[in-house]
Amino acid sequence: MLNITYAPSQAETAQQLKTDLAAARRLQSLHKDTLIVLVTTEALADKDLLAQVKKADRPNTVIIPLLLEPGLELPSALNNGNALDLTGQNLSNRETVNRLVSHILHSAIGEKTRSRNRLIFGIVGIAVLAVFWWAISGISAGTVGFPVDEYNTEEAANLQMISTFVFPTLDGLRPRTTEEALHFPETVEAASTRDRIFLAGTATQMPIDRQTTAEAIDAAITGTVSAQTATAPATATPAATETPAETENSGS
- Sheet bearing 61-67, strands edge to edge: 2-5, 33-39, 61-67, 84-85
Q: Residue ranges of the domains in the chain?
A: 2-109, 111-144, 148-223
51-57, long-range: CB < 8 A, 24+ apart: 52/5, 53/5, 53/77, 53/78, 56/3
Contact 32, 61 (CB under 8 A): yes
CATH topology of domain 2-109: Rossmann fold (3.40.50)
- Spatial contact of 30 and 105, defined as CB atoms under 8 Å apart: yes
| CA nearest to 66, candidates 90, 106, 38 | 38
Digit-by-digit pLDDT tens for the chain (252 residues) are 788 999 998 899 899 988 888 888 888 777 778 889 999 999 999 888 988 888 888 877 888 999 998 888 888 888 877 888 988 888 888 899 899 988 888 888 766 676 778 888 899 999 999 999 888 887 787 776 777 788 888 888 888 887 787 677 777 777 777 777 677 777 777 777 766 666 666 654 444 455 665 666 677 667 665 666 665 555 444 444 454 545 444 454
pTM value is 0.45
